[in-house]
Copies of this chain bind each other. A is one copy, B any other.
Amino acid sequence: MIQPLNRQWRAARRPVGLAQPSDFQWKEEPVGEPGPGQFLVRILYLSLDPSNRTWLWEKQTYLPPLALGDVMGGGGIGRIEKSNHPDFPVGSHVIGLFGWQDYCVHDGSGLTALLPNDPSIPLTMHYGLFGHIGLTAYFGLLDVGKPKAGETLVVSGAAGAVGSLVAQIGKIQGCRVVGITGSDEKCRWLTGELGLDAAINYKRESVPEKLSQHCPQGIDIYFDNVGGPTLEAVIDRLSMHARVIICGAISQYNKSDVREFDPGPRNLFKLVWQRARMEGFLVFDYWGRAMEAIGALAQWYQQGKIKYRVDVVEGLENAPRALNKLYDGSNTGKLIVKVA
């Protein structure tokens, strides 16, 4: 019998700008053997997320930096094929930070969790609605943003995995919702199928002008996935006691450190005049309350109040190229690589 190989993408260089396939090294090595308390995961899907690019920075982010030579980091869903760990039995499905590879030997520590054995839930939904994406949208908007019916919510990256959920949860809360995205097709999806009140194509339209047109009463809540000049334009139109939820800054991730980001908004001082609050959050802090979010999201989904899209790229070999779909805006919905 031929021994299966573990194919891997390892970090070869610190990327400058967009990560290139040549910044990664393709390696094939024997599949590892789980030791005591460990198990072997056959990875089925990878989640590609905008912040993955920052894991390649040299300095600490919200996670320790990858060393050159390490397997590229990434969220994975897999099936347990061998196990010496009583809580992670063979045949069960598991989610965790398994990296860009076919197989991973793991001890179940960190954010690793068994998935429920429910065939009605597609496995990939544990990345979307019922995973870090759904929890980010749910807790970021509701816990940090505290929306009230009638308020105006602006979402950037509105056609993305997190943004499209935030926008729909905002509608469910009774907000007027304006989405900012990068194509007319995405704008149509937002105002059509998702029922947003307005959408702005930042690549073709003037964001300050359109915000002024679509938010005549000012902006009460801004859910920021992009950073950069959009943030400055929104701050200019904040209403009294506004909340700015900083979730991501995808316009800046292809730098090498936060200190190398473009300069921040000049008009930050408007936070004083508007008695406004800007707050950052990470979904990790809400893991303990996951069931609260999943319960609400599942109900809204069954009621047809929430729609979400998945964009599946086939083959581990395409992971480096697929990552850049997040930055050029060519993905439509949650980006996933199907490994096996």
The residues of B that contact A227 with a CB separation of less than 8 Å are 268-269
CB distance from A144 to the nearest CB of B (A): 9
CB distance from A133 to the nearest CB of B (A): 16
The residues of B that contact A276 with a CB separation of less than 8 Å are 279-280
Q: CB within 8 Å of B: which of A248-284?
A: 248-249, 252, 258-282
CB within 8 A of A273: which of B62, B252, B269, B271? B62
- Grouping DSSP codes into helix (H, G, I), strand (E, B) and loop, the A interface class, with mixed when no group exceeds half, is loop
Query: Which of A265, A268, A277 has the largest number of chain B CB atoms within 10 A?
Result: A268
CB distance from A339 to the nearest CB of B (A): 29
Q: Is the CB of B279 within 8 A of A277?
A: yes
The residues of B that contact A272 with a CB separation of less than 8 Å are 62, 246-249, 280-282
C-alpha gap A39/B125 in the complex (Å): 71
Q: Is the CB of A269 within 8 A of B252?
A: yes
The residues of B that contact A266 with a CB separation of less than 8 Å are 258-264
Query: Which of A62, A266, A285 has the largest number of chain B CB atoms within 10 A?
Result: A266
C-alpha gap A271/B236 in the complex (Å): 20
Chain A positions near chain B (C-beta within 8 angstroms): 61-62, 227, 236, 246-249, 252, 258-282, 285
Given contacts A62-B272, A275-B282, 4 further A-B contacts (CB under 8 A): A249-B272, A259-B266, A264-B268, A275-B285
